[in-house]
Amino acid sequence: MSDTYDNSGPDLDFDPDVPTGPLPLPLNQWHRTRGGRMVDFAGYWMPVQFEGIIAEHLWTRQSAGFFDVSHMGQVYVSGEGAEAALEAVLPIDLSTLPVGGVRYSLLLNDEGGILDDLMVTRWGRGFYLVVNGATKWDDIATLRERLPDAITLNHLEDNALFALQGPEAFAALEPLVTGDYPLSALTFMRGGQFKLGGVDAWISRSGYTGEDGFEIAVPAENAADLADLICAQPQVKPIGLGARDSLRLEAGLPLHGHDMTEAVDPVSADLLFGINKRRRSEGGFPGAEIVLPLIAQGAPTRRVGLALEGRMAAREGARVLSGDSDVGAITSGGFSPSLERPIAMAYVAASCAAAGTPLTIDVRGRRLAAAVVPLPFVPHRYHRKGAA
């Protein structure tokens, strides 16, 4: 995170060695050397694109894209009673999570609003959590406040994190790894310890593009060498933030700070899969008194997909109308490279959330015709257990 200094006064004690702008990640120079166009994202320098957002998007859908997601927070929670302690903080059923199992969950405030979404993995005797980069410091503080003192929370600051996504991701990664079992043993939302180029790596079959793929945690000191190793595979190209965003939008996956915020509950956000069945009946998590009645009765608004007519995209904040009535707002929108048409996600009144409902979007005074469509816009291609 960056610090801001007020240098308007004459008596300021300013330390020039303290960074005042975006911080570098382990692959900062690696991206720059390869022509990455760097931007400030979540307080870090990150590449928004290399050769172009559309080209990178389509490459990932057709082959394999390499993403640096080292800005994400990686945390290890352990200690006697860690399972029960985490269940008191998250609406998750950890009793059914096997070693190496990965599960999506939510960090909620006391009003049922979404502080963050995250991944939880059973790692040995503890739990490995991956949280969003923009919220990681707040998440760590919240976890530390809510977890008992006997529970240890380690921020794995010395790790880098990669994502390799696309239909050729397995073919590209498989020759590079060794382990006690083959990479093919991993199915969607399962992970394990491997050697990648001789370096210890945690690899899970997961990601945020809707494609088959892997997330790979490695020591930061080895990040550049391992990125070289992966991107030397003919199926792989480095991909920036721009395509990462358009890919997750096509996959109908919400982005924290846009499609989910502290003001949005999991029912409205259509994220009930982040609250496991047992917890929906038992409660016992922050915000349960608000969320459980919404599960039973329904929420007044719903997150939906919208397909727009024409070529003009609607961006975040544009109002959604039914006739002349304001019924919601766009939270993510853009042009879909795969579908070659504009798409968006929005929160609308529950009465307007059924697939096929015609709506209009007000874009700076211009009315765009749209219709509610099922999510995802582009079918997911996860490698699930039992798949051929």
Average pLDDT (73-96) is 97
User: pLDDT tens across 229-253, in order?
Assistant: 999 999 999 999 999 999 999 999 9
Q: Kindly report, residue by residue over 39-76, the tens digit of the pLDDT.
A: 999 999 999 999 999 999 999 999 999 999 999 999 99
The rounded distance, in Å, linking the Cα atoms of 207 and 26 is 20
pLDDT, tens digit, for every residue of 268-324?
999 999 999 999 999 999 999 999 999 999 999 999 999 999 999 999 999 999 999
Instruction: With CA atoms as reference, report the closest residue to 291 among 280, 302, 301.
Output: 280
Q: Report which of 231, 245, 253, 249 is spatially closest to residue 65, judged by C-alpha positions.
A: 231
Of all residues in the chain, the percent with pLDDT exceeding 70 is: 94
* pLDDT band with cut points at 50, 70 and 90 for residue 388: low
User: Are both 28-69+158-250 and 300-373 of the same fold?
Assistant: no
Pick the CATH number of 28-69+158-250 from 3.30.1330.10, 3.10.310.70, 3.30.460.80, 3.30.1360.120: 3.30.1360.120
Strand 64-68 with 177-178, pairing: unpaired
Residues 6+ apart with CB under 8 A from 340: none
DSSP 151-170: SEEEE-TTEEEEEEESTTHH
Q: Is the peptide bond before 175 cis (omega within 30 degrees of 0)?
A: no
Per-domain boundaries in the chain:
28-69+158-250, 300-373
* Three-state DSSP class for residue 145: helix
Mean pLDDT across the stretch 362-374? 97
300-373 maps to CATH 1.10.8.60: no
pLDDT tier at 20, thresholds 50, 70, 90? low
pLDDT digits (tens, 9 = 90+) for 175-216: 999 999 999 999 999 999 999 999 999 999 999 999 999 999
